[in-house]
Amino acid sequence: MTAPLDPLDADELTWAWPDEPQDREPATDTPTTQFPATWRLLDDVELMALADPDFLIADMIPRRSVGVIYAPSGAGKTTFLAALTTAVAQLPSFYGHSVRHRGASCYVATEDPAGFKVRLRAAKRAAKLPLDAAIGVYTFPEPIDLRDSVSVAGFSRFLQQQSATLPLELVIVDTYAAATPGASENSSEDTTTAMVHAQQWRDRLGVTVILVHHTNAGGSRERGHTAMRGAADFMIAMTPVDDVIHVECSKQRNAAPFERLTLRLTPMPDGDGCILRRADDVIQGETLTPAQTKVLAVLRETFGADGATKTEWQRTCADVNERTFHRAAKVLADRGFIKAYGSHWRDTGKAVQGG
């Protein structure tokens, strides 16, 4: 009787990879094997010696990253960006967040250069900067196709040629949709291609790249394929809520989300444009708009101490449209007039100023 093979006796076994011939020559490593010169292994101590992720705007916008700012139309995106480019060029802080690296910005105006002009003029005036002195905010009024490698590479070379007089920190593309003509926003391939090209700008130019985008129909997230969110280093949502705009971090790859900013679109004193100002006084105030007053009254008077689910409450506010209702409910919760108990919302009894 033949003894069974010892499973550890390699000489008695013939190994083969699936779907490959069994007479395949074994792989050998020779002294001539070459590896890229950059390859190395870092132990944990060496890893800890690496620099931490850097920020362009402290705790808010990472330096040399790719990010997305998204909001519905008319939510103040371009006004916000005009303030951002002005801060990066000349100011010590941006809505309470310190500017860590001063430098120039390039605003790629794929849709409306004149519209950016109005907002930048207001931002410079609000910062008390003279309009006839350049501060390092540049506008590129030509279309760039983020899916076209030739267009992307050409723009990169163009900016590199300006580098002697243009110490860039920031490139903004407004809007992503206009910079991807003919693309399907729901296509993984189209979205991935555009994001890879944005990452090439980040790496080749050493800048932060911001893509300006819109929310989906429900207003809950950015429009299009999730490949955008997967590739982005950070994402910032701007959400109108009654007379204010909430600016919130919806993704921060290497840090904690920054605390929500609440801003209000405010006309300049002479009516020449608008700027965004912090709206702490709005959040702390006790006055309510007519819609908020009506929605709160329904909860108090119809449902009393038991409260109601948001669906029950919204259906009872028959003369308030759904979007206005949800915005009003969010403000009431933010200001402490209502509170959630499980699935039910109840009145906290907080007095309304003038009510």
193-204 pLDDT, tens digit per residue, is 999 999 999 999
- pLDDT surpassing 70 at residue 332: yes
How far are the Cα atoms of 25, 76, 87, 187, 214 from residue 72, in angstroms, in the given order? 61, 9, 24, 21, 5
What integer pLDDT is reported at residue 272 of this predicted model?
85
Q: What is the DSSP string of 133-197?
A: S--SEEEE-S---TT-HHHHHHHHHHHHHTTTT--EEEEEEE-TTTTSTT--TT-HHHHHHHHHH
Q: Report yes or no: 139 and 109 within 8 Å, Cβ to Cβ.
A: yes
Q: How far apart are CA 144 and CA 142, in angstroms?
A: 7
Beta bridge partners of 291: none
Length of the chain measured in residues? 355
Task: Work out the pLDDT band at 16, boundaries 50, 70, 90.
Answer: very low
Q: Is 153 exposed, middle or buried (0-12, 13-18, 19+ CB in 10 A)?
A: middle
Give mean pLDDT, residues 314-340.
Answer: 85
pLDDT for res 12: 43
pLDDT at 22 over 70: no
Which is more confident, 336 or 174?
Answer: 174
Where in 81-134 does DSSP place strands (E)?
93-94, 97-98, 104-109
Q: What is the pLDDT of residues 84-115, one digit of tens each?
A: 999 999 999 999 999 999 999 999 998 889 99
* 257 class by beta-carbon count within 10 Å (0-12 exposed, 13-18 middle, 19+ buried): middle
Q: Report which of residues 279 and 231 the model is more confident about.
A: 231
pTM above 0.75, yes or no: no
